[in-house]
Structure 1
Amino acid sequence: MLFASCTDKATMVSKPEDTQEAKQKLNSLALDRKCQVTPEMAKDVAKHFIGSMDKDLANATIKEVIPITDENGKVCMYAVNFSPRGNVILTADIRNAPIYSFSTTGYYSPQTDEGTDPFSCMINEAIAVNKLIAQDFSSDQMRLSAGDLSGHSWKDYDPMKWVVLTECEKPEDSYHDPCEGQPAKKRLPDTVLFQVGPLIQTHWEQGKPYNCYTKHPLFQKRFATGCVAVAMAQIMRYHKYPKRYDWDIMPDECDGEYEDMTEGEKAVAGLLADIYFSVKVIFSSNDGTFMFPEEAVHILKFKFGYNKKMKLSVGFDYPSIKNEIVAKRRPVFMCGLPPKGANRGEKQKIFWKGDIKNGHAFVIDGYKRMIAGRRIDCEGKLRQNLPADYLHINFGWKRTDDRWVYISRYLE
């Protein structure tokens, strides 16, 4: 609505609904600030968690804390790297499940090209899901069932910060805090209830010396074996089939130079070369090689003699993946594809059927269910939340990049 004063100056008067919408946005921003996890909180929780997962890391020192941002530059996660090894990636909003991913062997290194790096795409996917959860958290029904949806919460994970954490949840209509902000008497270790895997013990990759025999006949130089070949080879090594390969001499890792490779390393390189030259290669270079995932299934069935009923499904079918690992003890071949048109440096998501050239093949080979945030509260009662599920991913980039990743109930 526009009013003109006697001075001929126009004054804009907001509609009531516009004012209400603006207030809601301001309230939402204020709540976001209250719910923001600080780097100090992230470090404290990460240190407690990594020590629970590996007793040898109970006294590990924090090497660095890396903020992970969304497309607007807002901090949505923290990556905490430890020395000598291990890392934990945590969400930065206490309305989300705290631990997104962790590794007791490797470290997290930010990728410069987030349009093609698969784990960065997974992180972006998780950030998008977490924002939806945080938005829905404003409703009483969502707040009451938050444990069912997220599996565990920051409130349970960091009891020593009880006052800070409950500040986000005001008004307190949906929660009763018998301790009235007092810290827990004792924090208990995080507990693994059930675990299968990691099934695959190999930590192979695409470069030297694995690509010793992938010389292109026209260019006479070695190309990367390709992520599809590495994923296939590691699954074949797990099953030790077909029998014509000497599986038992193949090492879990290969670190030799081309000129002094062991017989076992040569056997690994030979297997990868067999796959490389069997699968239809679309393009190949020193940095990477692309093959159609459908070709992998075809070759496994008709060249290497695997089950003819094998098929490649589209999408992320969590119940089926869990069943393959837990019930059948079989690692799962997976290919994550960012959407078409992904620009370099753009924050993209994964598990889309889209840009095949920027995709990555990897293996899901483990399942873990755990309870975190266990503590004795101020009244001496044991407090804990619902179990949380994690899948283990072997990315085919040596041991440093293999990790456990949290599966949100929103993705099931």
Structure 2
Amino acid sequence: MNNIPIGLADWFINRMEKIQLLNYTEGMEIPSNITEEWDRNIPLEGEDNPTYSAEPEYVEVAPLLKTQWGQGNGYNNYSPEFNCSGEFKKAPTGCVATAVAQVMKYYEFPNSYQWQIMPNRVFNSNSQEANEVSRLMRDIGTYVEMDYSCDESGAKTSKVVGVLKNIFGYASSVSSIDYNHDILASELKNNRPVILSGKHSKKKTGSWIFEKTTYGEGHAWVCDGFKETIYRTVHDYGTPYERIVSTPGGKFFHMNWGWSGIGNEADINNNGWFRYDNFEIREVFGNDGNNLNFQYKKQMIIGIKP
């Protein structure tokens, strides 16, 4: 008691005197409301913080895109002609152009294109419908400064933000950020498809301070769906301390790879659901012989809306 402040010591002494007075006063009873409060907070014999599993919560945003567009015949009618192999002898549209085109078709904006005649998938490459899709993709390719070639056509996704806002009149909210699955889920819950990009391969050269890391085999595509199971556990059930603890289960995203729905060099539909931290695409191989997995340098373009 020597180190306790005088005011606090007086309070303790006063409390002790009152407790003793209550103990030795005949006929003194504990008020009923106090007794009930103790009864509610003391678990019954054999019970210790009872818990149970509540019904899980399912969250899902079904795939937003209707289109399954690609880069080849029927989509590249207006691409540069390099006498490439294939019916039209033309370069592919490029994954960046195809990804952007599918998002623009989702919004059907701006009104300078005949959106209503564009099919969800091109089957007749010589049709007016195919030409309109191809015109859209060539315009995008021009504005993002697409580097066309027979094997592949490439462009920097960093140019997409400015093109959408300054050329096609999309909202100022369009921006590019590093991959974040929580933000991605939020965009999709607001019915906004997101353009993703990443690299498949990683290579280190040199050593020590001269070590250099390069990334290759890049791709851009559209993420247009989200689903997650949230498991819930009720703790201290039936007590004033009852609380629900939510534990997220697996988080999955729906990817539209921009390969006409049949995969890249594979006769299977690779559009589908992928775990948030694993984009590995079965039966589609990179230069290293492994399944493609655009796991490096992942970025996303968010806030896309007219």
- TM-score class, shorter-chain normalisation, is 0.5 to 0.7
For residues 286-365 of structure 1, the aligned pairs below 5 Å read 286-314=150-178, 316-326=179-189, 328-338=190-200, 340-341=202-203, 355=215, 358-365=217-224
Q: Name the CA distance, whole Å, in 2 between partners of 1:354 and 1:226.
A: 21
| TM-score normalised per structure 1 | 0.43
Larger Cα-atom Rg? 2
Q: Which secondary structure does the structure 1 equivalent of 2:74 belong to?
A: coil
Q: Cα–Cα, structure 1 residues 216 and 342, in superposed 2: closer, same or farther, change >3 Å?
A: farther
Q: Name the CA distance, whole Å, in 2 between partners of 1:405 and 1:363.
A: 13
Measured after TM superposition, the shift of residue 299 of structure 1 is: 1.0
Cα-to-partner distance string for 1:341-372 (whole Å, 9 max, x where unaligned)? 389xxxxxxxxx952x5200011110012489
Measured after TM superposition, the shift of residue 304 of structure 1 is: 0.7
Q: Name the CA distance, whole Å, in 1 between partners of 2:81 and 2:57.
A: 47
Measured after TM superposition, the shift of residue 396 of structure 1 is: 0.4
Instruction: Provide the residue aligned with 2:276 in structure 1.
Output: 407
Cα-to-partner distance string for 1:34-87 (whole Å, 9 max, x where unaligned)? xxxxxxxxxxxxxxxxxxxxxxxxxxxxxxxxxxxxxxxxxxxxxxxxxxxxxx
Conserved 8 A contact 1:227-1:360: yes
Measured after TM superposition, the shift of residue 408 of structure 1 is: 5.1
> Quick one: which amino acid aligns to residue 322 of structure 1?
A
Cα RMSD (Å): 3.0
Conserved 8 A contact 1:390-1:404: yes
Q: How many residues align?
A: 192
Q: Which secondary structure does the structure 1 equivalent of 2:113 belong to?
A: coil
Conserved 8 A contact 1:230-1:396: yes
Q: Name the CA distance, whole Å, in 1 between partners of 2:230 and 2:161.
A: 37
> Quick one: which amino acid aligns to residue 257 of structure 2?
F
Cα-to-partner distance string for 1:218-250 (whole Å, 9 max, x where unaligned)? 999511100000000000000111111111111
Q: Name the CA distance, whole Å, in 1 between partners of 2:274 and 2:195.
A: 16
Conserved 8 A contact 2:105-2:115: yes
Q: Calculate percent identity across the aligned residue pairs.
A: 31
Conserved 8 A contact 2:95-2:258: yes
Q: Indicate the structure whose relative CO is greater, using CA pairs within 8 Å and at least 6 residues apart.
A: 2
Cα-to-partner distance string for 1:183-240 (whole Å, 9 max, x where unaligned)? xxxxxxxx99231120011000111011010125999951110000000000000011
Q: Unaligned 5+ residue runs, structure 2? A: 1-55, 206-212, 232-246, 262-268, 279-294, 296-306
Q: Name the CA distance, whole Å, in 2 between partners of 1:192 and 1:285.
A: 48
Q: Which secondary structure does the structure 1 equivalent of 2:139 belong to?
A: helix
Among residues 205, 225, 249, which one is paired with 1:366 in the alignment? 225
Instruction: Provide the residue aligned with 2:260 in structure 1.
Output: 398
Measured after TM superposition, the shift of residue 404 of structure 1 is: 0.1
* 1:277 corresponds to 2:136: no
Conserved 8 A contact 2:83-2:90: no
Q: Which secondary structure does the structure 2 equivalent of 1:309 belong to?
A: coil
Q: Name the CA distance, whole Å, in 2 between partners of 1:248 and 1:192.
A: 37
Looking at secondary structure, tell me which structure has more strand per residue: 2
Conserved 8 A contact 2:74-2:123: yes
Q: Which secondary structure does the structure 2 equivalent of 1:387 belong to?
A: strand
Q: Cα–Cα, structure 1 residues 256 and 193, in superposed 2: closer, same or farther, change >3 Å?
A: same
